[in-house]
Amino acid sequence: MLRWLTLPFVVGCTLLVVNSARGDERASAAQLAARIDALLEQHWQTEGIQLAPRADDAEFLRRAYLDLNGRIPRVSEVREFLSNDAPVKRAQVVEQLLDSPRFAVHFANVWRAELLPETMADRGAGVFRVGFEAWLQDRARAGVAYDALVRELLTAPIAQDGQGAEPVLRDPVRPNPLAFYAVKDAKPENLAAAVTRTFLGLRMECAQCHDHPFAAWSQDQFWQQAAFFASVQRQGAGMFAPLVETVAVRHVTPPEKDVAQAATFLVGDEPDWSREPSPRAMLAAWITARDNPYFARAGANRIWAQFFGRGIVEPVDDFRDDNPPIHPKLLEELAQAFAASGFDIRYLMRAICLTDAYQRSSVRTDASQDRTALPARMPLKSLTGEQFFDSIALATGYRDQQDKGAARRLLQTRFARGAAAVDPETSVQQALTLLNGSFTDWAANIDECPTLVAIDSTPGLTLDEQIDGLYLAVLGRLPAPTERAKIATVFDASPEEDRRLLLADVFWALLASAEFRMNH
Amino acid sequence: MHRFDRLTRRSVLRATGHGAGAILSSTWLSRLAAQAATAPDRQRACILLWMAGGPSQLDTFDLKPEHANGGPIRPIETSVSGVQFSEHLPSLGRQAEHLAVVRSMHTKEGDHGRATYHLRTGYVNQGSIRFPSLGALLAKELGDLDADLPSYVSVLPQRAFSQVAVSAGFLGPRYAPLVVGASGDELRVEDLGSRLDAPRRAERRLQLLGDLETNFLSGHSGAATDGHVTAYDRAVRLQRATAARAFDLNQEPDALRDRYGRGHFGQGCLLARRLVERGVSFVEVTLDGWDTHDNNFEQVKTLSGALDAGWSTLIEDLNSRGLLDSTLIVWMGEFGRTPAINPRAGRDHYAAAWSVVLGGGGIRGGQHIGRTSPDGMQIE
């Protein structure tokens, strides 16, 4: 009985503590946001750049939803936001999106694409996709810090030799970090290349076969990195073969060479194996150490690029002397703040979303904006296949049950983005799919598409209100007066019996528009 | 913009004899770029006959009649003395002087997905780079983004093994293939042609799109919005008569269509010829079904029938139109098949020693390159 009485009190206190910690964090994120803007301001001044104006609420909201939750906002979410007068509503919505279950889903999509792009490229590897995303989602929901996430990936448990073998796929839908090892063929060189590229921003794999002519890394150094993964071995052939680990194996012999390379850090001290016998744990500790010169910078740069389309170092995985950051001080301070926060992913994202830079319009208002790779206006970003599909599904009211997910598979693949996040591209086949595809045919059918059916059949709506509904559902904003006028003209010119079809055609035009296709 | 893309640093240096520092924006730059893009003078093209599943080399181009691994399929003489093909490829045998058989393929990927990716992009699927398929590369290097027809067309792609292997990878959607699928007996560009009953509605939709996009496009002028508008323009042009006619096989004489074979593959070969004739740089035609773990010999016989008619007529047809010299035809799958015959009269995946065949495009025909051991297990 006592327990039940005290529980609310304990929970209440904990919440208070959590809330106040959260409050500090928010204040600190706001400070970092202000610091970012101040550093950028110096850049704008020296370069003579005219900034785009602040984005209006609808533009900001759509962007924040896409960047933090991987989909556009619902009609109700837009209406609520637009009618909210609170001056802090942008910060509030960022908070809400960071806490949403969708945050973890989007986070997992993004990081799966970074870490295991192979899963989209071949059928065998594709089997591992769901489990790897489930693991990432699980970690994101738990609020894992970036360094901890990396350590957990690098030290994912594998049965030690003599204890049997570790299956790499027990159940395809269960959280599975070992997917990373399986899909990389458990080869030290593949694992090392992916790890250094993703987490340190260093492209070392060219050094796999030869000393790189321009970079500081030698072939020996590449294989010395790879040697940290030599302890992991596959039992049998193929991606689905189980793994075992022998921690005593800490060297690897490159193909067609005689000399084995021992696990050695890229920079810094020699590994002290008496303190930590596991080479994977040793590497994980070195990579995620506060004083690792690459880790925090590469991580902060990557997260920056997720929001602004381009990194401060671009490409984000190509840090080298002759590819310097466009704003070294900005990157340095972001990295320091990220590390000081305990690599709190949400903290860094919160700070970025609170900057004036992030809240600027994407509209090009001055030619000087083309001169900088820093966000003088928000660059147009391409949607990932998942963002595109989840958004069009939401706008139309699509449910997987209606065609057993066929549209999801088709659209996610056909609308997957190329390598670049900025300057979205459109293929002829994509245009044809939106013009004539079976999904479009369904989506613009006024008797079938749930969004259209709702707008068409709600009694008492005026034409203006119906058009508002279409705009809010697809573009997350109300139509501009000029757009409203254009539509009214077309409606006035059409016979009464044609109006339902015309409504569907307007809906189609919005779905097919560049504005819908892009994150702006 | 895209013309500039095509200008590699090397070609600029070669063409100008100056350092890259001399290249500033000027009118001759675009002319120079255009020249670099079209040289050599002849418009070149490539047709890839893609044998999804991995065709059996022992039952097509590297027969082993003396060995138990050879199986029941017999070799026949071809128009080139000393070169033998399978008995199920008689018409192709009469074109052997145009073909170079490479019998020394050796790769490491024995899984469909990974091997498909490897052979179609030239790279092993590892790491974070999504490589473009060969077609996208050629589209970028040879194609004209302003042409009515796309530069890369994929006929009946088998995308189950590897989606990315039928895509433009890091080159981006501009170089992605236009996909021709099958609808009943006919080959059709996917989603070409409106599903709407009234053509007026299709027009109205485009009109609305143009009208309602104006604000966004003018506020966001640049490569992304230009590309979006261009893609729709090209999609619409593709639906118009002249371009759509390229895909209309009814324009061809019945007798010729019969000779190609009335199946999808044969008609796909005919379509490839029509497209190459109209300046398309890369066409791939897939013949699926080579994953013959069971009942290999019957299946190979059936597949060979379609292959023989389509491929041999394609060579003949291109040759008679003077296009064979500028059109490279590549026949390959993702790997070969085991020389040893399994208990189900099938052959399994084998990457250690297998064959591809090249023809046209200036390749010296009538030869074979490389040799496998008498049991077909290794390259000698």
Mutate to test the interface with B, among A111, A122, A318, A482 (most CBs of B within 10 A): A122
CB within 8 Å of B185: residues ≥ 6 apart: B262
Contact A513 B205 (CB under 8 A): no
Select from B129, B162, B191 the Cβ nearest to the Cβ of A436.
Answer: B191
Residues of chain B with C-beta less than 8 angstroms from the C-beta of A239: 111
Confidence (pLDDT) at A273:
95
Contact A518 B127 (CB under 8 A): no
pLDDT in tens, A386-439: 999 999 999 999 999 999 999 998 899 888 876 668 778 888 889 999 999 999
pLDDT in tens, B16-55: 333 333 333 344 445 444 443 444 555 899 999 999 999 9
* Position B99, amino acid: L
Confidence (pLDDT) at A210:
63
B330-347 as b/e, with b when 16 or more CB fall inside 10 Å? bbbbbbbbbbebeeebbb
Confidence (pLDDT) at A168:
95
Q: Which of A501, A488, A402, A385 is nearest to A452 (CA)?
A: A501
Select from B164, B194, B238 the Cβ nearest to the Cβ of A428.
Answer: B238
Tell me which residue has tokens 């602040």: A54
Residues 225-264 of B with CB under 8 A from A: 225, 227-232, 234-236, 238
pLDDT in tens, A224-246: 999 999 999 999 888 899 999 99
Select from B127, B165, B222 the Cβ nearest to the Cβ of A205.
Answer: B127
Select from A363, A430, A513 the Cβ nearest to the Cβ of B213.
Answer: A513
Strands A381-382 and B349-350: unpaired
Contact A517 B228 (CB under 8 A): yes
Confidence (pLDDT) at A17:
47
Select from B128, B213, B229 the Cβ nearest to the Cβ of A197.
Answer: B128
With an 8 Å Cβ cutoff, is B22 touching chain A?
Answer: no
With an 8 Å Cβ cutoff, is B181 touching chain A?
Answer: no
Token pair of B225, please?
A: 């919005």
Q: How many other CB atoms are found less than 10 A from the CB of residue B34?
A: 14
Contact B191 A427 (CB under 8 A): no
- pLDDT score of A4 more than 60: no
Select from A123, A363, A432 the Cβ nearest to the Cβ of B192.
Answer: A432
- For chain A, give the percent of residues with pLDDT over 90: 78
Q: Which of B218, B205, B135, B197 is nearest to B169 (CA)?
A: B135
Select from A120, A431, A520 the Cβ nearest to the Cβ of B231.
Answer: A431
Residue A217: C-alpha distances to residues A98, A270, B182, B230, B264 (Å): 38, 17, 51, 43, 52
Q: How many CA atoms lie within 13 A of B216 on its CB side?
A: 26
With an 8 Å Cβ cutoff, is B212 touching chain A?
Answer: yes
Q: Is the dihedral of CA A457, A458, A462, A468 positive or negative?
A: negative
For chains A and B, what is the number of CB pairs under 8 angstroms?
A: 205
Contact A426 B127 (CB under 8 A): no
- Rounded Cα distance, B277 and A46, in Å: 55
Please give the DSSP secondary-structure letter assigned to residue B379: B
Confidence (pLDDT) at B166:
79
More confident of the two residues A11 and A74: A74
Q: Please check whether residue B119 is in contact with residue A119, taking contact to mean a CB–CB distance below 8 angstroms.
A: no
Strands B45-52 and B327-333: parallel
Nearest residue on chain A to B150, alpha-carbon basis: A428
Residue A314: C-alpha distances to residues A270, A317, A373, A518 (Å): 31, 7, 9, 21
With an 8 Å Cβ cutoff, is B221 touching chain A?
Answer: yes
With an 8 Å Cβ cutoff, is B164 touching chain A?
Answer: yes
Nearest residue on chain B to A239, alpha-carbon basis: B111
Gap between the terminal Cα atoms of chain B: 49
Nearest residue on chain A to B175, alpha-carbon basis: A427
Q: What mean pLDDT do residues A120-147 have?
A: 93
Confidence (pLDDT) at B17:
35
Confidence (pLDDT) at A209:
65
With an 8 Å Cβ cutoff, is B351 touching chain A?
Answer: no
Confidence (pLDDT) at A20:
59
Nearest residue on chain A to B222, alpha-carbon basis: A423
With an 8 Å Cβ cutoff, is B178 touching chain A?
Answer: yes
The CA distance from B118 to the nearest CA of chain A, in Å, is 10
Confidence (pLDDT) at B126:
66
- Rounded Cα distance, B178 and B139, in Å: 11
Complex ipTM tops 0.85? yes
Q: Please check whether residue B336 is in contact with residue B64, taking contact to mean a CB–CB distance below 8 angstroms.
A: no
With an 8 Å Cβ cutoff, is B116 touching chain A?
Answer: yes
* Position A376, amino acid: A
Mutate to test the interface with B, among A119, A197, A429, A474 (most CBs of B within 10 A): A429
Residues of chain B with C-beta less than 8 angstroms from the C-beta of A501: 201
Nearest residue on chain A to B212, alpha-carbon basis: A483
Select from B112, B128, B208 the Cβ nearest to the Cβ of A194.
Answer: B128
Q: Is the dihedral of CA A329, A330, A331, A334 positive or negative?
A: positive
With an 8 Å Cβ cutoff, is B193 touching chain A?
Answer: yes
Residues of chain A with C-beta less than 8 angstroms from the C-beta of B236: 435
Tell me which residue has tokens 């989007």: A106
Q: What mean pLDDT do residues A27-41 have?
A: 95
Residues of chain B with C-beta less than 8 angstroms from the C-beta of A425: 172-174, 224, 227
Confidence (pLDDT) at B71:
95
With an 8 Å Cβ cutoff, is B38 touching chain A?
Answer: no
With an 8 Å Cβ cutoff, is B126 touching chain A?
Answer: yes
Q: What mean pLDDT do residues A118-131 have?
A: 86
Q: Please check whether residue B133 is in contact with residue B159, taking contact to mean a CB–CB distance below 8 angstroms.
A: no
Residue A361 phi/psi, 5-degree rounding, is -70, 155
- pLDDT score of A213 more than 70: no
Select from A317, A364, A427 the Cβ nearest to the Cβ of B221.
Answer: A364
Nearest residue on chain A to B193, alpha-carbon basis: A436
The CA distance from B334 to the nearest CA of chain A, in Å, is 13
Select from A194, A441, A483 the Cβ nearest to the Cβ of B195.
Answer: A441
* Position B295, amino acid: N
Contact B222 A380 (CB under 8 A): yes
Report, as ranges of residue numbers, the positions in chain B whose pLDDT lies below 70: 1-42, 126-128
Strands B178-183 and B186-189: antiparallel
Residues of chain A with C-beta less than 8 angstroms from the C-beta of B161: 122-123
Gap between the terminal Cα atoms of chain A: 56
Q: Which of A417, A113, A124, A182 is nearest to B116 (CA)?
A: A124
For residue B301, with 0-12 CB atoms within 10 Å meaning exposed, 13-18 middle and 19 or more buried, which class applies? middle
* Position A366, amino acid: D
> What residue spans of A361-498 are helical by DSSP H?
385-396, 406-414, 428-436, 438-443, 450-457, 463-475, 481-493
How large is the angle between the packed helices A428-436 and B223-239, nearest 10 degrees? 60
Contact A418 B172 (CB under 8 A): yes
Tell me which residue has tokens 């894992």: A144
Q: What mean pLDDT do residues A53-74 have?
A: 98
- Rounded Cα distance, B112 and B51, in Å: 12
Contact B125 A118 (CB under 8 A): yes
Residue boundaries of the structural domains of chain A:
2-99+293-308+319-379, 103-287, 382-519
Residues of chain B with C-beta less than 8 angstroms from the C-beta of A413: 163
Query: Across chain B, what does the average pLDDT equal?
Result: 86
Out of A186-190, A358-362, B159-163, B249-253, least confident range: B159-163
With an 8 Å Cβ cutoff, is B112 touching chain A?
Answer: yes
* Position A373, amino acid: A
Token pair of B311, please?
A: 């491929």
Q: What mean pLDDT do residues A182-202 have?
A: 93
Residues of chain A with C-beta less than 8 angstroms from the C-beta of B228: 424, 426, 514, 517
Contact A123 B176 (CB under 8 A): no
pLDDT in tens, A367-382: 999 999 999 999 999 9
Contact A120 B191 (CB under 8 A): no
Confidence (pLDDT) at A499:
93
Q: How many other CB atoms are found less than 10 A from the CB of residue A431?
A: 23
Residues of chain B with C-beta less than 8 angstroms from the C-beta of A520: 216, 220
pLDDT in tens, A433-465: 999 999 999 999 999 999 999 999 999 999 999
- pLDDT score of A12 more than 50: no
For residue B17, with 0-12 CB atoms within 10 Å meaning exposed, 13-18 middle and 19 or more buried, which class applies? exposed
Q: Which of B156, B222, B334 is nearest to A369 (CA)?
A: B222
Q: Please check whether residue A162 is in contact with residue A216, taking contact to mean a CB–CB distance below 8 angstroms.
A: no
Q: Which of B181, B172, B130 is nearest to B153 (CA)?
A: B181
Token pair of A183, please?
A: 């899909």
- pLDDT score of A11 more than 70: no
Q: Please check whether residue B234 is in contact with residue A428, taking contact to mean a CB–CB distance below 8 angstroms.
A: yes
Q: Which helix (H) or strand (E) holds B84?
A: strand B84-86
Contact B205 A512 (CB under 8 A): yes
Residues 315-344 of B with CB under 8 A from A: none
